[in-house]
């Protein structure tokens, strides 16, 4: 389906034109190994299994939490749950879904088990685009494909169970078999994509790393903290500061944006809010554009990659991560958030 974005036309693949039955037919003789049962792995694996695809899991047994999670989800050691290496050997499509740092670390163990005609699948362009740093260089006898859901694993699974699907991007890096695109789109459909839009490995990783560090997570959290702190500094209570910073956005306004766009959200707010937002929007854009320029340059030059591989690959990464998240969780702002969320109508009468 061709979509016109104000003069820029894109070929978007909808489920109606690439139905589940077609995807199942393409994949009927394939065995798909999901390597890594952490963030994206469970959602994609369970959605494919529910869609009747032959799925096995590759997971390091020493990572007991994830190994047990796979068992709890119905995968059986020796039958549908294996080590990373054995799952790769048994499969024809290998979904490489362990962390980016983990992909670099495990690649020497995975690569020898790839077979002629296999498809190596990613949900992030990181390892391929930054191959000088990761050393993840696929052999020339495999397809290399990408489907990147635009949401967390939890969202991929929840949307699938709700029957709505999630939008995903797709890309072909290497087409050895001549069937790479069909395999790619078929897997994109069976993991629960509502529609798929084309990209490249490079564009996917540049946009993804910028988005995560920017609007989607880093900038959002930073702006929350800045506004909350200013309100508190000027004598507003924690509950008022949190409601005006986070709660109203997440429980009301962002839903209007999701429904019909930012103009629709503006149209459904007071004229005072409309005027102020329109007047200040440009000031915020000018203020943050230099930060986004720095961010995109850091992504494109590989500086962000160097940080990810060095920090996330450290043996004490989990402990340090928990310390950072704990500091956020225990800040006044997010403690206020816990208290405010408990007052939502759906939580009335529940034990705190």
What residues are labeled active site?
Answer: 124
Nearest CA to 56 among 35, 73, 39?
A: 35
> Maximum CA pair distance of the chain?
67
């Amino acid at each position: 389906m061709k979509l016109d974005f104000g003069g820029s036309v894109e070929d978007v693949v909808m489920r109606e034109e690439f139905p589940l039955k077609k995807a199942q037919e393409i994949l009927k003789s394939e065995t798909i190994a999901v390597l890594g049962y952490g963030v994206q792995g469970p959602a994609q694996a369970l959605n494919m299994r529910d869609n009747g695809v032959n799925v096995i899991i590759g997971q390091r047994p020493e990572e007991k939490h994830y190994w047990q999670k796979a068992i709890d989800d119905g995968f059986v050691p020796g039958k549908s749950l294996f080590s990373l290496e054995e799952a790769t050997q048994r499969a024809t499509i290998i979904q490489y879904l362990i962390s980016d740092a983990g992909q670099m670390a495990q690649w020497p163990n995975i690569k020898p088990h790839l077979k002629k005609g296999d498809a190596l699948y990613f949900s992030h362009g990181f390892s391929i685009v930054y191959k000088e740093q990761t050393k993840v260089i696929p052999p020339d006898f495999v397809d290399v494909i990408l489907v990147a859901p635009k949401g967390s694993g939890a969202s991929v699974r929840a949307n699938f169970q709700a029957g709505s699907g999630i939008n995903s991007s797709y890309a072909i890096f290497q087409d050895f078999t001549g069937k790479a695109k069909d395999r790619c789109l078929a897997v994109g459909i069976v993991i629960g994509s509502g529609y798929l839009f084309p990209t490249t490995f490079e564009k996917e990783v540049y946009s993804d790393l910028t988005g995560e560090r920017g609007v989607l997570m880093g900038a959002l959290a930073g702006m929350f903290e800045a506004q909350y702190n200013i309100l508190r500094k000027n004598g507003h209570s924690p509950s008022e500061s949190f409601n005006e910073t986070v709660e109203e956005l997440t429980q009301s306004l962002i839903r209007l944006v999701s429904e019909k766009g930012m103009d629709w959200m503006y149209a459904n707010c007071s004229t005072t809010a409309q005027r102020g937002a329109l007047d200040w929007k440009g000031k915020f854009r000018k203020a943050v554009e230099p930060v986004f320029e720095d961010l995109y340059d850091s992504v494109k030059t590989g500086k962000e990659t160097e940080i990810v591989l060095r920090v996330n690959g450290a043996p004490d990464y989990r402990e340090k991560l928990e310390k950072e998240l704990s500091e956020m969780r225990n800040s006044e702002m997010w403690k206020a958030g816990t208290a405010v969320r408990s007052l939502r109508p759906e939580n009335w009468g529940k034990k705190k």
